[in-house]
Amino acid sequence: MELERLLLRVKNPAWYSGGELNSVVKDKETVKTRFAFCFPDLYDVAMSHLGIKILYDILNQRDDIWCERVFAPAPDMEALMREKNVPLFGLESRDAIRNFDFIAFTLQYELSYTNVLNMLDLAGLPVLATERSDDMPVVIAGGPCTVNPEPMADFIDLFNIGEGEETLLQLVDLWQECKGNKREFLERADKLESCYVPALHDRSVKVRRRIIKDLDKAPYPEKLIVPNTKVIHDRISMEIMRGCIRGCRFCQAGMIYRPFRQKSPEVMMKNIEKLCKSTGYDEISLTSLSSSDYDRLPEFADMLLDYCTPRKINLALPSLRIDNFSDELLKKLRAVRSSGLTFAPEAGTQRLRDVINKNITEEDIFESCRIAFNGGNSAVKLYFMIGLPTETDEDILGIADLAQRIVDYYYQLKTKKNGKGVSVTISLSTFVPKPFTPFQWEPQIGLDEIHRRQQLLKNAITSRKIKLNYHEGKTSVLEGVFSRGDRALGKLIYSAWKKGCILDAWDEHFRYDLWCDAMEESGVKVENYAGRRYSYEEELPWDVVDCGVSKAFLIRESKLAYENKTSPNCKEQCLGCGVKKICGGDVCDPNCI
């Protein structure tokens, strides 16, 4: 009852109350293993994430496991929890998670790291792995950030690298076999192919990222928790494929989710019907890294529309690439509803697009705009990056020039609607070098330079039809430090958290001044991490992980970038990236699927 006393005093009580439709409540006396699935951010972000839904379902399918959700409380709730000594609890049972068997974090972005520490602390547990005793829960972590586990190694007992559908159950089985003996469990788990126990691991043994070979056979939830209050993505997410054939050289997702695997439309339609019935949602979003690369997209779109249209269900199709979507497909999507079009040219000149291997041409961009404009859209959103390797001022001015020419193009078209103006939005982010990409050795530009280049672009835009959105840049610098960090960063994260840094991904909570203090205190210098050019020869912190793509491949791609040379995509030609070896067969040949 203590919780009720707090809930009416906070802004979003439904974030902490539980009781949502399709949340799983079990009898704690009959389950063997209690699992806290933690997403280290606020409820509305966490409940928008697909991975947690998949894994929650898989774990709870087992009668002997009870998996509950745990999210970071907002500052108002945190203050009350600390004041009233309410330890962090599972949303389903409201039991304190410090008594659970597993506390599992998904690390989706670097700026959630301090939240992990804060949540452990709120749970009443020491944040440092070495300070937690054997009778405390096993703290594990997974998710894309763990391809470089080192920055968080001080706080996590065990990293599980790669896709968790199968490995999480293996870990629970092992835990049950070890009868809750944490030491024995960690020793044995460290020997598993995809697991990394920082305290025990022999760095000469590579940890191999785990993949699911056949997505059609992988479990997909038939029910989703329907939040009682609005969340960011309040809809059905249907994962249509994993991996990407493209190989953009800055893109980590395009490398670490290899190989390219597609789900069949038949399997997905069955999923979708069940999900619509169990949730009552009126929107479906197809998720993937590049939806238009899906082989059977026109056919699948027809199936979806046949199902969705009479039921008044909207279809959202993000991640369309500009080079290969057709008039016909756009028309089909518009039959349901479309909210403007989004493209990601990433760079303003063809030279730089070739450097990053973004394999789209200016003709592609204008052709896409033509289709969009003729289809009745007059709003286009374009994603660009600054700070890409080899970038010059000319490339930045190229962004403004491209946007201006799109505006001019709109007014040349005969199909433009009278009285309706065009709107081109440029969304600008800053390049962050990421492990397991061809650009993993590249330095990131510094804060002053970020500001200068942003300003350069801003001044180059003269049309009021063009809107420029960008972030201040400080968060990008921190991301740059963390993404390629080593174990020494544990001290920085700890120090920053101690000083009060939490919810760093939120502008209103991000405290760069405290981070600067923490850097001073921990001796971590931006220029040694984000700002440094790593060499091909040096041992990298994430070398302990084998993600599939080989270093030789990444170096080849890195050198091609400096020659302004593109590489074909996986469907056109196999580049021998090395991922085949973790597939144990020809899974990575997309033509064979």
Partner 1 sequence: MIRIAFEKNSTAIYMSHLDLMRCMTRALSRAEIPVKYTEGFNPHPYLVFAAPLALGIAGEREYFEIKITEEMPFDEIKQRLNETLPQGLKILDVFEAENDFNEIESADYRVFVEGKTTDDWKEFFNAETIPAEKKTKRGMETIDMKQEILGCETEAVENGVILHLHLPCGNRRNLSPLLVVKTFAPDEETYYTAARTGFFDEKGNRF
Nearest to 140 by CA among 36, 51, 240, 68: 36
Write down the least CB distance from residue 509 to partner 1, Å.
Answer: 22
Whole-number Å distance between alpha carbons of 431 and 541:
20
Write down the least CB distance from residue 280 to partner 1, Å.
Answer: 3
Burial 51-82 (b: 16+ CB within 10 A, else e): bbbbbbbbbbebeebbbbbbbbbbeebbebbe
Write down the least CB distance from residue 472 to partner 1, Å.
Answer: 32
Q: Which is nearer to partner 1, 7 or 583 (CB)?
A: 7
Distance set, CA 114 to CA 105, 466, 504, 518 (Å):
12, 37, 8, 12
Q: Which is nearer to partner 1, 292 or 314 (CB)?
A: 314
Interacting residues with partner 1 between 569 and 588 (CB under 8 A): none
Question: Is 5 among the residues that bind partner 1 (CB under 8 A)?
Answer: yes
Question: Is 534 among the residues that bind partner 1 (CB under 8 A)?
Answer: no
Q: Which is nearer to partner 1, 18 or 480 (CB)?
A: 18
Question: Is 9 among the residues that bind partner 1 (CB under 8 A)?
Answer: yes
Question: Is the bond preceding 433 in cis, omega lying within 30 degrees of 0?
Answer: no
Q: Which is nearer to partner 1, 93 or 361 (CB)?
A: 93
Question: Is 124 among the residues that bind partner 1 (CB under 8 A)?
Answer: no
Q: Residue 131: phi, psi to the nearest 5?
A: -95, -5
Question: Is 458 among the residues that bind partner 1 (CB under 8 A)?
Answer: no
Write down the least CB distance from residue 14 to partner 1, Å.
Answer: 4
Q: Is 237 helix (H, G, I), strand (E, B) or coil?
A: strand
Whole-number Å distance between alpha carbons of 533 and 141:
28
Question: Is 82 among the residues that bind partner 1 (CB under 8 A)?
Answer: no
Q: Which is nearer to partner 1, 307 or 534 (CB)?
A: 307
Write down the least CB distance from residue 311 to partner 1, Å.
Answer: 8
Q: Which is nearer to partner 1, 9 or 203 (CB)?
A: 9
Q: Which is nearer to partner 1, 235 or 353 (CB)?
A: 235
Sole window of 10-18, 260-268, 518-526, 572-580 interacting with partner 1 (rule: CB under 8 A): 10-18
DSSP conformational letter for 210 = B
Among the residues of 132-210, which ranges form H helices?
A: 164-177, 182-189
In the chain, count of helices (H) and strands (E)? 21, 17
Question: Is 14 among the residues that bind partner 1 (CB under 8 A)?
Answer: yes
Write down the least CB distance from residue 57 to partner 1, Å.
Answer: 18
By DSSP bridging, strand 261-262 and strand 283-287 are unpaired
Q: Token digits for 342?
A: 């989004």
Answer for which of 20, 184, 486, 589 binds partner 1 (CB under 8 A) is: 20
Question: Is 95 among the residues that bind partner 1 (CB under 8 A)?
Answer: no
Q: How many CB atoms lie within 10 A of CB 446?
A: 17
Whole-number Å distance between alpha carbons of 536 and 553:
12
Q: Which is nearer to partner 1, 93 or 292 (CB)?
A: 93
| All residues at 6 or more sequence positions from 587 whose CB lies less than 8 Å from its CB, including other chains | 211, 213, 259, 261, 580, 593
Q: Which is nearer to partner 1, 275 or 445 (CB)?
A: 275
Write down the least CB distance from residue 248 to partner 1, Å.
Answer: 36
Q: Which is nearer to partner 1, 228 or 522 (CB)?
A: 228
Question: Is 19 among the residues that bind partner 1 (CB under 8 A)?
Answer: yes
Q: Locate the DSSP E strands across 178-311.
A: 195-196, 207-208, 236-239, 241-242, 261-262, 283-287
Q: Which is nearer to partner 1, 420 or 565 (CB)?
A: 420
Q: Which is nearer to partner 1, 173 or 234 (CB)?
A: 234
Q: Which is nearer to partner 1, 47 or 540 (CB)?
A: 47
| All residues at 6 or more sequence positions from 145 whose CB lies less than 8 Å from its CB, including other chains | 107, 108, 109, 110, 152, 482, 483
Angle at 60 between CA 209 and CA 285, to 5 degrees: 70
Whole-number Å distance between alpha carbons of 129 and 268:
41
Binding residues for partner 1, rule CB under 8 A, total 24
DSSP conformational letter for 209 = P
Sole window of 4-12, 386-394, 429-437, 461-469 interacting with partner 1 (rule: CB under 8 A): 4-12
Write down the least CB distance from residue 78 to partner 1, Å.
Answer: 16
Reduced 3-state DSSP string for 63-99: CCEEEEEEECCCHHHHHHHHHCCCCCECCCCCCEHHH
Write down the least CB distance from residue 586 to partner 1, Å.
Answer: 42
Interacting residues with partner 1 between 265 and 304 (CB under 8 A): 276-282
Question: Is 409 among the residues that bind partner 1 (CB under 8 A)?
Answer: no
Write down the least CB distance from residue 8 to partner 1, Å.
Answer: 5
Write down the least CB distance from residue 13 to partner 1, Å.
Answer: 4
Q: Which is nearer to partner 1, 8 or 592 (CB)?
A: 8
Question: Is 8 among the residues that bind partner 1 (CB under 8 A)?
Answer: yes
Write down the least CB distance from residue 500 to partner 1, Å.
Answer: 23
Write down the least CB distance from residue 69 to partner 1, Å.
Answer: 14
Q: Which is nearer to partner 1, 226 or 379 (CB)?
A: 226
Q: Token digits for 475?
A: 């968060």
Handedness of CA 326, 329, 334, 335 (dihedral sign): positive
Answer for which of 130, 135, 310, 312 binds partner 1 (CB under 8 A) is: 312
The residue written with tokens 């894994």 in the block is 55
Q: How many CB atoms lie within 10 A of CB 217?
A: 10
Terminal-residue alpha carbon distance, the chain: 54
DSSP conformational letter for 148 = S
Site map 220..259 versus partner 1, x via CB under 8 A: ------x-xxx-----------------------------
Write down the least CB distance from residue 432 to partner 1, Å.
Answer: 36
Q: Residues in the site for partner 1, rule: CB under 8 A?
A: 4-5, 7-9, 13-14, 17-21, 226, 228-230, 276-282, 312
